[in-house]
Structure formats: C-alpha cells, structure tokens
Amino acid sequence: MSVANLCHRLQPQVSARTAAGFAEVLRRLGGPLQVAVAGRIKSGKSTLVNALIGRRVAPTDVGECTRLVTRFQYGTVDRVEIVFNDGRKQVLPFSADGMIPAELGIDIDQVSHIEAYLTNAVLQGMTVIDTPGLGSLDAASVSRTEQLLGAAKHRKPDDEEEDEEGSDELDDTSRNAVAGAEAVLYVVTQGVRADDQQALAAFTAATASREAGPVNAIAVLNKADTIAPESVEGSGGDVWKAATLLSEKQAATLKPRIADVLPVIGLIAESAESGGFSSPDAEALRQLAEMDDDILETMLISADIFTSWECDVAAGTRLRLLEKLDLFGVRYAVETIRKEPEITAGSLRRKLLDASGLEAVRQRLSIVFAARADGIKAAAALASVTALAHASGDPAERQRVHDAIEVLLAKPEAHQLRLLEALTLVASGAVDMPEDLSEEVLRVGSNADIGAQLGKPGAPRAELAAHALERAGWWRSFASFGATPAQSRVAHVVHRAYFLIWQQIRDPQA
C-alpha cells in the first residue's frame, strides 16, 4: 500500500505522460502476481501451464497459438480474446475439447497476444503467462518470447549456427502486452544451455528492470521421466533419484538467477490434475497389470512396441495411455495396481499426481512467489516508477520522484523492499561479497519461513531467537568495520532483517 500511496501522491506533481505511467503501475499493484512460464521450444511449457491451472486449455501441439504469448487470468466468465497489434480485440471460441484452438485462421503477424479469462481459483492469486519457446525455428515466435524476457540474442556467425535461428528485432506491442510479468517459472529439460542462462540474465525487461533472482525466479526440470538413470552418477538406477540429482546440478549452474530447480513430469501432472485421466484409462491399466511380467516388460521397452504388440487391450487405448502418461507413467500405474489391486480410479489418479512432482513445484511457488507477492510487486512497481521518472527528461521531476522513494524506503514498513533490493544487488554481482556472506544474504532474503531464513529449519524458538540476535550483531559490526561502502549498505539491511526476525520470534503479534 505504501508504494500505491506514493504513486497517488506523485501523480499531480509530474507530467501527464509520467502520471499515466503511474496509473498503469497502480493497476498492476492491484492485480495478482504475474508469472511468466518460459523456456526452450518443446520443453513442455504449455503442458506445465495446464497442470498448474488444473485445466487442459493451453494448446500443447505445435500450431499458430503456440507461437503467441498467452496470458491466463481470472475472469467471472470463461472467454478468450485475440489482441491485435493495433489494439483491436476479437473473441475466440474454445475448440470442441475446451482448449484454445491451435489454429486461429487469421494472420498471426497482426496479433500481439492472446488473453484467456478463466473461472479458476488458482488464477485469482496468480496470472500465468505462457510464452513461445526460445530456440524456435520461427523467428517471430522467438521475438515474442525475447520481448517478454528481454533476451536479445547475439547472432553467431553463419558458420557457427546450429539448428536454430534467432532475431534481434523486437515487437514493442508484445513487450507492452506482457510488461507486467513480475516473476518467472523457467522450464529446462536435461541440459542447461547458454541461452537458458542468457534469458534469465536478461529477464530485466519483463520485471521493470529488476533482474531474475532467487526472489522472483524458480526453474523446473521437466520431462524428468525421460532421464536415463545410468547417465547420472549416484542414482542407483532410479529415474526420480537421477532427476533429483540432475536438478541439483542445474540449480548450481543457474544460481543465483533462480531460487531452485525442481524435477517434474508435466505430462503426468497435466493428465492427473486437469481431468485427462479417466476411469476407462484406469480399467485399461488394470488389464495391463494382469498380463505376464515378461510380456509387459517387453512391451514397455519402447512406445512402438507398446502400441503394436498384439494383446487384449486395444492398440488405440494403449496409444491414448501413452499420450496421457508416457511409458514411465504406464509402468508406475501398473506397479501401483499390482501393489493395491483394489485401488479406485480416483486414488490411482492421486498416486499419479504425487508421482509427477507437481505438488512440490506448487509448494515452492507458494513459498517463493505467493508468500511475498506483495513485496515482489512493490519492488517491480518502484523500479517502474524510477524508470518512468528517468524517461520523463525533466531533471526536477526525476529528483522529486527520487526523493519520495528515499523517504518511503526509510520507513520501517518498507524494509522488505530494502531487503529485496539488497538481495538483487548481491545476486546480480553488483555488490561483491564473500561467497559465504552472499549465500547468507540470499538465504535471508529468498525465504518466507523464519527457520529457512536462519538456516535452521525445525529448530526451537529459543535457538532461532538467539541465532537471529547473534547474526544481527555480527552484520552490524561488519557494516561498521571492514565492509566496503557498497557492502556496508547491504550489511545494514541484513542487520535490520535479522533484528526484525528476532522481534517477530519474541512477539509474533508485533
């Protein structure tokens, strides 16, 4: 509310253009947190979007729609609108299966983006932005995604080109349409590539010049079921163990741009959560579970063998199972049925959902994004306010806004913004800190849970209080003796954070 009050107070004191920008900032502050789902082409972004929403509405097959930015937000009536570059809007009917049509029947070069309004409880707290993939063969699709992420690619010389093309030309209308994205859920598969790093590093354009970091970015390792466990040392032949270990390696590669990397099987999550898994599917799996072990093992070697083998379960039914669960999901479901022969279709669906890893992703989204959505939005709003003032060209207006922000940040209730700012400075490397202190700043600023902030999850309150007070004193000393001026600024913020944590532990009602 303090940032909103600042905008209201400044509007009469600035130019009409800057005031209009402040009005847009206020509109975004009043809405849900906007999370962009981004990643390389064919990484399973749209499938994951459907799983998160709990409804199969985003097209997952390659088509015109998958080359456009689509915003999924809450509405009292389900509807889809095409937004054109010139601002015109056209209502788009859902396809027969309840999804956004993959083919729009219009010149998509004239389309800015798609707005989907759904009566969906998840979207009341979070607007989800589905993006085309980086690395697409379609330069226009690359451009739309790079507009959102600010990921202007540096083209390689022709003799260094790989299997993809890119474009440095960016579409301003598309940028404006999605400029409110305040956080990113980044989707990777088995290998982290250079442009994955580049996209995260350039997320500033989508977050009002705030870089991607552990406060506003997490990643998921999608298609975890396709990882060959023998390729990951220490997996013991277990696919999920291999995916977990690989996620940890990728997290080390992508940090500090992201809070974490979590494994997930988007296809199983989508099928189990969006109503795609049905009683006939469960019955077909039950028939497969009754087959001879050797025959079933042979069938599960590959998709071709699974669908072409002669057995009592129709080939079309097996193809449908593959489309919903893939071989890993089929195997998991069969093993579950054999362990629990009386399991119902509903219970089997819940078991599949548990096996997909989606719940862990949702919990992390809640911890990283939802629990501090107001802070993330406020920090992005302040960055927008600063950018608008600088763009005005009026030195007096710029100084007036700067002074107002400094007054706001000096208030105790604005400390979370100070902490987010300090974390961003450390995560981006703008303030150089020793590695152990950087990790401590990231931990304190990236977590909403006090135990996690203090690096002592599950510790008793007395121990947490003593540790918070001890670290508060240490950071105060560091700020005064031995820190550079830039480090001292961060240290004072961290000292204050620890002191407030200590107060909260002692008096939770304060």
Between 258 and 220, the more confident residue is 220
N-term to C-term CA, the chain: 19
β-pairing verdict for 126-130 and 111-118: unpaired
Separation between Cα atoms, residue 221 and residue 260, nearest integer Å: 10
pLDDT exceeds cutoff 80 at 257: no
Separation between Cα atoms, residue 261 and residue 249, nearest integer Å: 9
- Biggest CA pair distance of the chain: 81
pLDDT of residue 164: 34
Separation between Cα atoms, residue 296 and residue 4, nearest integer Å: 62
Residue 129's closest CA among 175, 90, 91, 96?
A: 175
Average pLDDT over residues 337-344: 95
pLDDT of residue 168: 28
Separation between Cα atoms, residue 422 and residue 433, nearest integer Å: 11
Average pLDDT over residues 140-166: 43
pLDDT exceeds cutoff 80 at 117: yes
Residue 387's closest CA among 4, 21, 2, 9?
A: 21
Per residue, what are the HEC states of 350-406?
A: HHHHHHHCHHHHHHHHHHHCHHHHHHHHHHHHHHHHHHHHHHCCCHHHHHHHHHHHH
pLDDT of residue 157: 36
Average pLDDT over residues 90-111: 84
Give 65's DSSP letter: G
How many CA atoms, within 13 angstroms, populate the side-chain half-sphere of residue 508? 2
pLDDT of residue 199: 65
Tokens of 509: 């009602």
Tokens of 144: 């739309």
Average pLDDT over residues 37-49: 86
The neighbouring-strand residues paired with 80 are 92, 116
Find where tokens 């929403």 sit: 53
Residue 501's closest CA among 475, 478, 481, 477?
A: 475
Q: How many residues would you count in the chain?
A: 510
pLDDT exceeds cutoff 50 at 209: no
pLDDT band at 112 (very low <50, low <70, confident <90, very high): confident
Q: Tens digits of per-residue pLDDT, 185-206?
A: 888 887 766 666 666 665 544 4
Residue 442's closest CA among 217, 133, 185?
A: 217
β-pairing verdict for 70-74 and 111-118: parallel
pLDDT band at 279 (very low <50, low <70, confident <90, very high): very high
pLDDT exceeds cutoff 90 at 288: yes
Residue 506's closest CA among 476, 466, 473?
A: 466
* DSSP, residue by residue, 193-238: -HHHHHHHHTGGGGGTTPPP-TTTEEEEE--GGGS-GGGSTT-TT-
Buried b (16+ CB within 10 A) or exposed e, 297-323: eebbeeeeebbebeeebeeebbebbbe
Mean pLDDT (the chain, rounded): 81
pLDDT exceeds cutoff 60 at 69: yes
Q: Residue type at 152?
A: A
Distance between alpha carbon 72 and the CA centroid of its chain, in Å?
A: 14
Distance between alpha carbon 477 and the CA centroid of its chain, in Å?
A: 37
Q: Which of 95-99, 427-431, 502-506 comes out lowest in average pLDDT?
A: 427-431
Separation between Cα atoms, residue 251 and residue 229, nearest integer Å: 18
Between 478 and 181, the more confident residue is 478
Strand 111-118: give its sheet, edge to edge. 89-92, 79-84, 111-118, 70-74, 126-130, 33-39, 183-188, 217-221, 261-263
Contact call for residues 45 and 38 (beta carbons, < 8 A): yes
pLDDT exceeds cutoff 80 at 161: no
